[in-house]
Copies of this chain bind each other. A is one copy, B any other.
Amino acid sequence: MGTPEVASAMKKTGRKRGLITMRDVAQATGFSPATVSIVLNNAPLARYIASTTRQRIEETAKRLGYRPNAMARFLRSKRSQSIGVILFDVTDPFCIPILRGIENALYPLAYLPIFADAHNQRDRFERYLEMLLERHVDGLIVVANWLFVDIDVLADLNKREIPAATIGWELPGKRVSSVMVDNEAGGRQALEHLYQSGHRKIAIIRGPKRLIDTAPRWRGIQKFAQSVKLEIDPALTLQLPDLFDATSSFEHGYRLTEEFLQTKKKFTALLAFDDLTALGAMRALAKAGISVPEQCSVTGFDDVAVSALAVPSLTTVRQPLEVMGSTAVGIVMDAIKAGQENRDWPVVSQKLHPELVIRDSTHNT
Q: Which of A49-57, A63-71, A173-181, A204-212 contacts B (4 or more CB under 8 A)?
A: A63-71
Distance A264 CA – B100 CA, assembled complex (angstroms): 42
Q: Which of A30-38, A132-140, A142-150, A327-335 contacts B (4 or more CB under 8 A)?
A: A132-140
Does any Cβ of B come within 8 Å of A17's Cβ?
yes
B70 near A135: Cβ-Cβ < 8 Å:
yes
A136 near B71: Cβ-Cβ < 8 Å:
yes
B160 near A135: Cβ-Cβ < 8 Å:
no
Q: What residues on B are CB-neighbors of A113 within 8 Å? A: 114-115
Distance A75 CA – B71 CA, assembled complex (angstroms): 6
Does any Cβ of B come within 8 Å of A236's Cβ?
no
Distance A313 CA – B161 CA, assembled complex (angstroms): 48
Interface residues of A in 53-110 (CB under 8 A from B): 67-72, 74-75, 78, 80, 82, 85, 90-91, 93, 96-97, 99-100, 103-104, 107, 110
Does any Cβ of B come within 8 Å of A282's Cβ?
yes
Smallest CB–CB gap between A128 and chain B, Å? 8
Q: What residues on B are CB-neighbors of A117 within 8 Å? A: 100, 103-104
A72 near B70: Cβ-Cβ < 8 Å:
no
Q: What residues on B are CB-neighbors of A130 within 8 Å? A: 67
Q: How many residues of A contact B (CB 8 A)?
A: 60
Assuming A70-B134, A71-B71, is B311 touching A286 (CB within 8 A)? yes
Does any Cβ of B come within 8 Å of A131's Cβ?
yes
Assuming A71-B136, A80-B71, A286-B311, is B96 touching A110 (CB within 8 A)? no
Does any Cβ of B come within 8 Å of A270's Cβ?
no
Question: Which residue of B70, B112, B161, B282 contacts A116 across the interface (Cβ within 8 Å)?
Answer: B112
Does any Cβ of B come within 8 Å of A306's Cβ?
yes
Does any Cβ of B come within 8 Å of A250's Cβ?
yes
Q: What residues on B are CB-neighbors of A103 within 8 Å? A: 90, 115-117
Distance A282 CA – B104 CA, assembled complex (angstroms): 32
Question: Which residue of B67, B90, B161 contacts A99 across the interface (Cβ within 8 Å)?
Answer: B90
Question: Which residue of B78, B124, B135, B312 contacts A112 across the interface (Cβ within 8 Å)?
Answer: B135
Q: What residues on B are CB-neighbors of A112 within 8 Å? A: 114-116, 131-132, 135
Q: What residues on B are CB-neighbors of A131 within 8 Å? A: 110, 112
Does any Cβ of B come within 8 Å of A40's Cβ?
no
Does any Cβ of B come within 8 Å of A338's Cβ?
no
Distance A258 CA – B161 CA, assembled complex (angstroms): 58
Q: Measuring CB to CB, which residues of chain A are less than 8 angstroms from any residue of chain B?
A: 16-18, 67-72, 74-75, 78, 80, 82, 85, 90-91, 93, 96-97, 99-100, 103-104, 107, 110, 112-117, 119, 124, 130-136, 160-161, 246-247, 250, 276, 279-280, 282-283, 286, 305-306, 308-313
Please name the 9 residue pairs, one residue from A and one from B, whose CB atoms are nearest each other, closest first.
Answer: A115-B115, A18-B161, A70-B135, A306-B306, A71-B75, A70-B134, A71-B74, A113-B115, A103-B117
